[in-house]
Structure 1
């Protein structure tokens, strides 16, 4: 990519200069992936995580009780935040049908993990995340680029004409990471709001029960064991680190990649690959980011078990290279730099687009 500024794909483009039907390209790739065995279930891997989950929570609560009413609890709060984020990653896997063949088993696993262990509504998240997967970075369709405090398109920035908000938007790159400290509180609030709203949601009373047990029980534990000052500090650190961790795990995936106009029509392969970014790293990074660093593979094959994503990446990268489809991969900190420069340029009203991969691919006609 030439620069880190917002790009819009053209609303309509001629067919690529290939005799191959683009609708068959993903099918060919899918055959390769299935033949390689990368879609098979990893029951041992996931059962180990599911069994370890309540054990990890029991250990965390035990440490919390042993440390008692001291300021050392702020370190325990960081540990809770990491545990909750890793739990959310596991719930994400279940929601994408990565764990079990049965959709019902995956749904109930997501409900228990998301609502009872993390305090986030599975129904709210599923509705939002499904829309994102269907249309990543598509204007008016992807909820992940429709945020109240950050503008991801020039049109969004232009709408905020109030002098205070205009100044904040112009400096939004500076505020991006600090704002993530509030993301944890926002996730819980959005979940509670959704389960008590009139919007349709499956298993509403199960979700209400699980969320009330999780949030109410957690607050009761904190305020019974800790004095008010330490309790509020504990919750502030835990929620802040949780939100920050969730934010930095999801931020590199699509922000700063080409944006898609409402009326654009793209084949599935290009719609998912051109709008997504992978993050290079070791297996430790795979664990730290919950496999989200293989965003291209995840978007193409959402039900692929997490431990297979690393093996699928070179296959998909080579396939895209053969067909002239840009496969974007960066380092972790490089990706954050791209995101910050991108939202800064949007906030300053600089809407000159860079040469997006699809335009470059089809301009040869």
Structure 2
């Protein structure tokens, strides 16, 4: 069959129409259709080949994924070429799906692209990476100069924890493809920063984090809230677990034991276990190699001063300090917000219902890696973070126009909101468990 004839058949196939209700029926792992820009794509067999994993595609099965697809891909023309083979038709009643809010948000997206807000300032990222390396060098200098004293141990741990926290924000940038125009360069630097500087797996991070972005705070779809055996979040889960007499923790005290089982243990214990399990399960030996280079460097630098166990103690104490920093910053913008089953909302509504901001100051911006602009980051995940503050006023205006709450708090108020949420959720569980 000639090439022209093949193209003619493709055109005929692409003109088949499906209603939204028909497409919604294809909402299973092995029967997964998506709507993107009025086209219908059958991803049932291809999903496992998706670079971001099959699960993130399954989270939008049978739904309109236009804005999610646009948000995650900064190489849309390139990706679109591969999508043609997966297209099975058009959405018959596409215009009925296009609300005023969706149209206004897409205008805002176009403005961001046309005005250069998706372009990076290379100096910002160069300086950020250099200051991480400077902190690491200073930590070693302190140990070397003070000849491995206990005082040097403590100072070095603080400096290394600071470097690790900032490296966490840095790898986050590369993971979101928001630094280089080239996907390849972003991937390379992501491997280097999260693997060699932070001793973690880039693929593990991608697997977890993009699911979180796709459906934040959505039960069974966001892995960041899948912690019910220790903590119950929001209103829905505590009530459901309480009525079914599920769980073994005294959840009505979770706002208290959070300080012992949350920040202190997340990075030193849980993330290590999950990283190791993920790497060996997936046989991801490149990520494993990068992790090995981190530990080789760390013990080569600090082993001569503190011995093997002493260097290990320095590492774990560093992670203990970093874990508090990481946990409070990453959870302050989501845990106090709605935690619920999937409502199949449009992209803008979902992100605003599950995400909040923290006031912008030079310290807050640095301390949080610009995750204090969590709303804007979730709406535009590939936008360079130094531009998030520039788009924020326009996001606020769009919220005001459509009567959507835009929540922003001082830093320590946001920290307190996490504890207040845990207390409220624990009380809901207790009431449902004993009186429901």
* 2:374 aligned to which of 281, 289, 295: 295
- Describe how 1:36-185 pairs up with structure 2 within 5 A: 36-72=115-151, 73-147=153-227, 148-152=229-233, 153-154=237-238, 155-156=240-241, 161=246, 165-167=248-250, 169-178=251-260, 179-185=262-268
Query: Do the aligned residues in 1 keep the contact of 2:164 with 2:198 (CA within 8 Å)?
Result: yes
Q: Which residue of 1 aligns with 2:314?
A: 234
Q: Distance in 2 between matches of 1:187 and 1:127?
A: 14
Q: Deviations over 1:254-288 (max 9, x none)?
A: 112112313x1101111112210000131211000
Gaps of 5+ in 1: 1-18, 353-365
Q: Distance in 1 between matches of 2:430 and 2:408?
A: 24
Relative to the length of structure 1, the TM-score reads: 0.82
Q: Distance in 2 between matches of 1:119 and 1:209?
A: 10
The reply to whether residue 284 of structure 1 matches residue 366 of structure 2 is: no
Aligned pair in 2 of structure 1 residues 323, 118: CA closer, same or farther (>3 Å)?
same
Q: Deviations over 1:133-184 (max 9, x none)?
A: 000111110111102422213135667756xx332x2211112233211122
The reply to whether residue 187 of structure 1 matches residue 271 of structure 2 is: yes
Q: Deviations over 1:91-120 (max 9, x none)?
A: 001111110011111011111000100111
- Which portions of structure 1, spanning 4 or more consecutive aligned residues, are displaced by more than 4 angstroms? 156-162, 227-233
Shift in Å at residue 208 of structure 1?
1.0
Of structures 1 and 2, the one with the larger relative CO (CA 8 A, separation 6+) is 1
Give the secondary structure class of the aligned counterpart of 1:349.
Answer: helix
Gaps of 5+ in 2: 1-97, 432-436
Q: Distance in 2 between matches of 1:99 and 1:108?
A: 11
Q: Distance in 2 between matches of 1:157 and 1:83?
A: 42
- Larger Rg, first or second structure (1 or 2): 2
Q: Distance in 2 between matches of 1:315 and 1:38?
A: 12
Shift in Å at residue 240 of structure 1?
0.9
Q: Which residue of 1 aligns with 2:414?
A: 335
Give the secondary structure class of the aligned counterpart of 2:371.
Answer: coil
Q: Which residue of 2 aligns with 1:256?
A: 336
Give the secondary structure class of the aligned counterpart of 1:294.
Answer: helix
Give the CA RMSD over aligned residues: 2.3
> Which has a greater percent of strand?
2
Q: Distance in 1 between matches of 2:311 and 2:118?
A: 45
Q: How many residues align?
A: 326
